Structure 1
Amino acid sequence: MVADNSEKSTKSVANGSLISTVSCKEDLPNSIIVTQVPEEVFVNPDDKANFSKLFTQIEEHIHFDFLKSFRRVRVIFSSPENATAAKLIVQGFSYKGHELKAFFAQRVYLSASQSSTLLSPPPLEKQFLISPPCSPPVGWEQMKEMAPVVCNFDLMARLASFAIDEKYEVHNGDESTPTIVVHPCETALDHPSAIEMPRTPRPEPI
């Protein structure tokens, strides 16, 4: 069932089953999957050509995916109308003693204009930079890392100016950020605290 373009995809219940509706023609499937295909179609070029003629009579330039392990063939058309016509022809058709079955598959985009909107892999230079292969292409060079910082004089000067007996301003605040100031502890670290924690008495034996 095809609804107007202004309507959204909905699902309704009829006789206890869900019926899906689509909002536009582009949501309809343009490919079918044919099952119970004879094995000769996958190994014999002549049988494959004869099998393909069942669909090329509907549309000349179509795409086939022969799945030998599953004895299935996916046929991709340019429009949902051609896919529907092919399904009606193939459904229940006897081919070399095998009754073919067909059902709609998910919509597949083969044109360059549609594939450009999909997510594509990163450029080759990005791929080799992240994980260089065993045999990189000709002209590829490994990026050289910078030399390690042996001595940071700015950091050493800030550490040398830090005194434990006086407060130290770590960050000078402004209108949007606060000022961070470190104050020394009032109790020396080498003297124990004057506050003692109460001890729990040991219970007397019964």
Structure 2
Amino acid sequence: MHIKTTKCNRFCLVASVTNQEVFDRPEAQASFEALFRSFDPEVQFQYFKSFRRVRISFSDALAAAEARLRLHKTDFSGKEMRLYFAQSVHIGSPRLEPPKPDKQFLISPPASPPVGWAQSQDAMPVVNYDLLCAISKLGPGDKYELQTATPTTPSVVVHVCDDERGVNSAPDDSDQDDQPRPLRQKIVQTRRPDFTPGAEQ
């Protein structure tokens, strides 16, 4: 966490002026500045009308301290004037530091995995041997009921297609070379309908 430190500027005073004439009338400004030029001829002024403040910069710290001692809470044009030493606030480092790396893994995509992170292993696939055994026993034309019907749900039945060749769909590998391969059915092209001339438009 950044540490907030406050440092007092010994060469600069801030005057809290409630008299609005100091900011509007040159005559009032001249009489206001004459109060501080008696302590330091090289004094500089900065007016902040919206804040009703005047920053007074001295060339000597002793002159600023003496002006603060003599003019603080004195009367100026019928209003009380207060003087304070200007303060500079320093918060942490003068440069913007990058964020701490302890939570950077929340950024997508993560720059690097967090400490202790490990790749999760995929689970082994589950093989239903009962289902494989039941399917292997099915032959052409047989049916296998997967789910029986209930009053609210229908039954689920698997029908095995018949073999068009009239033989087992999975012949032995030993007889495969001896038996001639059956000819595939030729795809008959769909006949185009006859053209009948219609009425001329």
- With the shorter chain as reference, the TM-score category is 0.3 to 0.5
Which is richer in strand? 2
- TM-score between the two structures when normalised by the length of structure 1: 0.40
Which is richer in helix? 1
Q: Which has the higher contact order (CA 8 A, sep 6+)?
A: 2
| Greater C-alpha Rg | 2
- TM-score between the two structures when normalised by the length of structure 2: 0.41
